[in-house]
C-alpha cells in the first residue's frame, strides 16, 4: 500500500491508515486478553476453594472408615487414590503454566498481584514447544501422555462397580480427547484444536480451567464415596412399572396371577451370567439397556422353571443376583383341525387307531375313556375296538397346572365292515377266455377301506346259462363247475354269486357277484 509510483503525500496517508487499523486491532486484542485474564482469575479462585472442600471431604471419609470400616474402608481407600492421582496431574499442569510464563517472560505485578494479561498476546510459545508440522513435539507427546495417564488411573480406581458407572461416564465426558472439527470442518487433534495458535493468556486460562476440571472431578468422587450422590438413584422419575407374571402362558378363563414392581434397567455391564448352570456369552447376550437376551431350547410340554444368576461387581466384591422365572410349553400346532359333520365313525370288530390330546396340556396329564378304548404306545396314541351298540362316547379329562380339571367328550358312530366286492383276475365285470375262468381264483376285496383286513373266500356258487347252479367250496371251481363251464357257448354270461369269506376278526357279509363273459 505504501509502495509503487504514488506521491509522497499519498504514501503518507496510506501509512497513517495502516497505523490506525493496527491501533484498533491492538485495542480490541487488549479487551479480549483482559477478559481471558479475568476468567483465569475466577478459575484459580475456584480451585483454591474446591481444594479446601476436597480435603475436608477426604478427612471425613477417613474418619468414617475408622468408625464403620465394613461400609467406608473401601470407599475411603478409593478416595485417597483419586486424591493422589488428581494432585499429581494438577501439579503437572502447574508446571506447564510456569513454563509458559517463563518462556514468555511474564511476571506477576507485585502491586496488583496479577499477571500482565494485556501483554500476554504471543501465540508462538506453545506452538513451538508442543507442535512441529503435523505432529507433536516430544513435549506435546508428554502432555497427551499425562492426560491419558490420569484418565487411565481414575478408570482403574472406579473399576466396574455398578455404583460408579454414572460418575465414570461424567468423568469421560469431562476429559474427552477425541479429534475436533476446525472452522473448515476438518477434524484435527484435540491438543491442536485447544492450544495451537492461541494467545498465551488464552492457553494459560485453558490450563487453569483443566485444573478446575481435576478439582471438580475429585469433589464429585469424594461425594460419591461418601454416599452423598443419591438423587439419581432414588428419584421415582427414573423408575418404571414392570409386570412380572407367575408364568408365561395362561388358559382362557384362568385368572392372571403375577406382580407389579417399581424398578429400572441397569445400563451397566455384568461380569457374569449363567442359566441352568451354563455360562452365557455376555458379548452376545447383553443389549444397550443392560437387559440379557436368553436363547435356549425349551423342554417338553408342560411348565418349566428358569434358574440362573447375574454377577456384578460392587464395592470390589462380586454381587450375585438370582434369576427366577418360569414358562409353559404347549404342543406346537402342526396340523389344522378339520372335521366333517356326522363323519365321526369307528368300525366294529377292527382296531381303530386314535390320537387324543388336550391343547396346552402335557400327555401325562390327559386321560381318556370309552367302551373298547385302550392306551397305546406314543404321545396321545390310543386304539378302539367297538363291539355292540350303534354309538360310543369317548370322554377326555385334563389336569391343569393349578390342579383343576377340565373335560370334553366326542360321540362316534359304530358301523359294520362294508360288503366286499367279488373279483376274478382283479375285476368284478370281465371278458375272459374259458380256460382262465376254469383255473381262476375267486377273491373278496374291501374296496376303499382304510384298514388292513385280509379276507379269505370260503365258498361261492356259479351259474352257467342253461344249466343248474353249482356250489363250490374254497376259492376255485370244482369238477362239476368246470364240466358245466365246458358246455357254455362263446359269449355266455357266467355269474359267480353268494361269495362267502372270513377275516381274522369280524364277520364279513357276502361279497357282491362277479359277471364274466366268455371270449371263446
**CA 112, 116, 118: angle at the middle one, nearest 5?**
125
Q: Which three cell numbers stand for residue 68?
A: 464403620
What pLDDT sits at residue 256? 58
Whose grid coordinates read 494485556?
Answer: 118
C-alpha cell recorded at residue 242: 414392570
Q: What is the pLDDT of residue 21?
A: 43
CB under 8 A, 24+ apart: contacts of 396-405: 396/356, 396/358, 396/366, 396/367, 396/368, 397/366, 397/367, 397/368, 398/358, 398/361, 398/365, 398/366, 398/367, 399/361, 399/365, 399/366, 400/251, 400/254, 400/361, 400/365, 401/247, 401/303, 401/328, 402/254
d(CA 264, CA 229): 18
**Cβ atoms 268, 162 nearer than 8 A:** yes
> In DSSP terms, which residues pair with 515 in a beta bridge?
429, 495
- Cα-Cα-Cα-Cα dihedral of 15, 20, 26, 28, to 10°? -150
Q: How is residue 348 annotated by DSSP?
A: T
Determine the longest span between alpha carbons in the chain, in angstroms: 161
CA 230/CA 18 separation, integer angstroms: 62
Q: Tell me, what's the pLDDT at 235?
A: 44
Nearest-angstrom CA–CA distance, 12 and 24: 19
Q: How far is the C-alpha of 368 from the C-alpha of 382, rounded, in Å? A: 9
| Predicted model pTM | 0.46
Phi–psi pair at 232, nearest 5 degrees: -65, -30
- Closest residue by Cα to residue 497 from 470, 517, 467, 479: 470
Task: From 492, 517, 504, select the one nearest 351 (Cα to Cα).
Answer: 504
pLDDT at residue 296, rounded to an integer: 67
Q: Which segments in the chain show pLDDT lower than 70?
A: 1-32, 228-269, 285, 287-290, 292, 295-296, 298-302, 313-316, 327-342
Is-contact 54 219, C-beta < 8 A? Answer: yes
Q: What is the pLDDT of residues 429-467, one digit of tens each?
A: 999 999 999 999 999 999 888 888 889 999 999 999 989
Instruction: Report the pLDDT value the prediction gives residue 35, as an integer from 0 to 100.
Output: 73
Instruction: Give me the long-range contacts of 325-328 (CB less than 8 A, separation at least 24).
Output: 325/248, 326/246, 326/247, 326/248, 327/247, 327/248, 327/249, 327/298, 327/303, 328/247, 328/248, 328/249, 328/302, 328/303, 328/304, 328/360, 328/401
Helix (H, G, I), strand (E, B) or coil at 195: helix
* pLDDT at site 93: 93
Cα–Cα distance between 444 and 428 in angstroms, integer?
Answer: 10
Amino acid at each position: 500500500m505504501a509502495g509503487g509510483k504514488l506521491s509522497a503525500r499519498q504514501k503518507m496517508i496510506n501509512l497513517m491508515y495502516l497505523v490506525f487499523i493496527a491501533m484498533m486491532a491492538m485495542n480490541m486484542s487488549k479487551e479480549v486478553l483482559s477478559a481471558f485474564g479475568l476468567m483465569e482469575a475466577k478459575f484459580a479462585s475456584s480451585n483454591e476453594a474446591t481444594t479446601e472442600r476436597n480435603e475436608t471431604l477426604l478427612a471425613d471419609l477417613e474418619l468414617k472408615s475408622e468408625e464403620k470400616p465394613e461400609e467406608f474402608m473401601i470407599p475411603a481407600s478409593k478416595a485417597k487414590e483419586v486424591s493422589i492421582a488428581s494432585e499429581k496431574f494438577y501439579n503437572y499442569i502447574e508446571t506447564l503454566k510456569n513454563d509458559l510464563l517463563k518462556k514468555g517472560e511474564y511476571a506477576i505485578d507485585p502491586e496488583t498481584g496479577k499477571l500482565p494479561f494485556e501483554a500476554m498476546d504471543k501465540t508462538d510459545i506453545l506452538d513451538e514447544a508442543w507442535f512441529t508440522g503435523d505432529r507433536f513435539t516430544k513435549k506435546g507427546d508428554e502432555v497427551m501422555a499425562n492426560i491419558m495417564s490420569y484418565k487411565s488411573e481414575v478408570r482403574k480406581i472406579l473399576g466396574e462397580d455398578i455404583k460408579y458407572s454414572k460418575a465414570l461416564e461424567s468423568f469421560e465426558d469431562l476429559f474427552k480427547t477425541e479429534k475436533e472439527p476446525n472452522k473448515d470442518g476438518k477434524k484435527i487433534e484435540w491438543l491442536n484444536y485447544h492450544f495451537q495458535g492461541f494467545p498465551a493468556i488464552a492457553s494459560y486460562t485453558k490450563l487453569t480451567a483443566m485444573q478446575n476440571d481435576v478439582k471438580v472431578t475429585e469433589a464429585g468422587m469424594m461425594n460419591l464415596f461418601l454416599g452423598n450422590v443419591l438423587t439419581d438413584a432414588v428419584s421415582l422419575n427414573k423408575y418404571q412399572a414392570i409386570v412380572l407374571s407367575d408364568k408365561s402362558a395362561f388358559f382362557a378363563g384362568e385368572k392372571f396371577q403375577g406382580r407389579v414392581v417399581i424398578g429400572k434397567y441397569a445400563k451397566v455391564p455384568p461380569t457374569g451370567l449363567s442359566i441352568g448352570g451354563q455360562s452365557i456369552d455376555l458379548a452376545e447376550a447383553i443389549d444397550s439397556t443392560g437387559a440379557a437376551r436368553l436363547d435356549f431350547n425349551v423342554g417338553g410340554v408342560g411348565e418349566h422353571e428358569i434358574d440362573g444368576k447375574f454377577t456384578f461387581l460392587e464395592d470390589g466384591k462380586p454381587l450375585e443376583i438370582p434369576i427366577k422365572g418360569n414358562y409353559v410349553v404347549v404342543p406346537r400346532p402342526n396340523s389344522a383341525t378339520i372335521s366333517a359333520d356326522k363323519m365321526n365313525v369307528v368300525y366294529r370288530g377292527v382296531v381303530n387307531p386314535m390320537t387324543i390330546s388336550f391343547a396346552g396340556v402335557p400327555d401325562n396329564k390327559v386321560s381318556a375313556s370309552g367302551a373298547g378304548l385302550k392306551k397305546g404306545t406314543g404321545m396321545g396314541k390310543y386304539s378302539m375296538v367297538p363291539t355292540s351298540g350303534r354309538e360310543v362316547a369317548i370322554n377326555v379329562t385334563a389336569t391343569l397346572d393349578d390342579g383343576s380339571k377340565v373335560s370334553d367328550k366326542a360321540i362316534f358312530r359304530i358301523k359294520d365292515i362294508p360288503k366286499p366286492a367279488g373279483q376274478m383276475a382283479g375285476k368284478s365285470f370281465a371278458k375272459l377266455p374259458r380256460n382262465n375262468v376254469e383255473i381262476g381264483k375267486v377273491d373278496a376285496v374291501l374296496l376303499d377301506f382304510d384298514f388292513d383286513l385280509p379276507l379269505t373266500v370260503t365258498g361261492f356258487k356259479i351259474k352257467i346259462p342253461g344249466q343248474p347252479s353249482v356250489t363250490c367250496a374254497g376259492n376255485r371251481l370244482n369238477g362239476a363247475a368246470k364240466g358245466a363251464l365246458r358246455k357254455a357257448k362263446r359269449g355266455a354270461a357266467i355269474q359267480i354269486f353268494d361269495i362267502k369269506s372270513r377275516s381274522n376278526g369280524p364277520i364279513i357279509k357276502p361279497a357282491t357277484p362277479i359277471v364274466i363273459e366268455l371270449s371263446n
